[in-house]
Each structure stands twice: as structure tokens, then as C-alpha cells.
């Protein structure tokens, strides 16, 4: 299993765009809407708020899964 985010990026979540929204984050992690928003609001998964929506770089989701930002 790759140890770096760069290595993981090539094969994880390839069907998703580089920047995802909360609904796509839910699909990626198999979680509900409440937990998805909690992870983003508590900055456990770093995101940017653009208008009323959160934009989440796919690399940040991978980083969260690999516990590199914990």
C-alpha cells in the first residue's frame, strides 16, 4: 500500500473530480450528511467555502483517510 498521498492519488477515487462537494464526499466515504458536514466544519477534512457550498480537494479526503492531517 502506498505511503504517500501522491502515490495514493493515482488510484484512489479516480471516478471523482479533483474538487468534490459534500454530497460526493458522502459517497466517497460511505457516510451520512451529518457526519460529512461535521468532518468539514471541524476541519478534520480541510475544505473551502465558496458561497454557500463547501469545496473539498480530493487530496484532502485521501489525506484524511491516511491520517496524515490528524
27 vs 68: which has the higher pLDDT: 27
Confidence band of 67 (pLDDT split at 50, 70, 90): confident
What angle, 0 to 180 degrees and rounded to 10, lies between the N-to-C axes of helices 58-65 and 22-29? 30
Chain centroid to CA 43: 11
The pLDDT of residue 1: 44
* pLDDT one-digit tens code per residue, 10-62: 788 999 999 999 999 999 999 999 999 999 999 999 999 999 999 999 999 99
pTM, entire model: 0.84
Phi, psi of 55 (to 5 degrees): -115, 125
- All domains of the chain, ordered by start, with CATH? 5-65 (1.10.10)
The pLDDT of residue 30: 96
Q: What share of the chain is helix, strand, coil (3-state, %, to 5)?
A: 45, 15, 45
The pLDDT of residue 43: 95
Backbone region of residue 58 per phi and psi (left: phi > 0; alpha: psi in -120 to 50; beta: other values)? alpha
Amino acid at each position: 500500500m502506498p505511503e504517500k498521498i501522491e502515490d495514493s492519488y493515482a488510484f484512489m477515487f479516480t471516478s471523482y473530480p479533483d474538487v468534490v462537494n459534500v454530497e460526493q464526499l458522502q459517497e466517497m466515504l460511505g457516510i451520512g450528511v451529518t457526519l460529512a458536514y461535521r468532518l468539514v466544519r471541524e476541519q478534520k477534512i480541510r475544505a473551502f467555502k465558496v458561497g454557500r457550498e463547501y469545496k473539498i480537494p480530493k487530496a484532502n479526503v485521501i489525506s484524511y483517510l491516511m491520517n496524515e492531517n490528524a
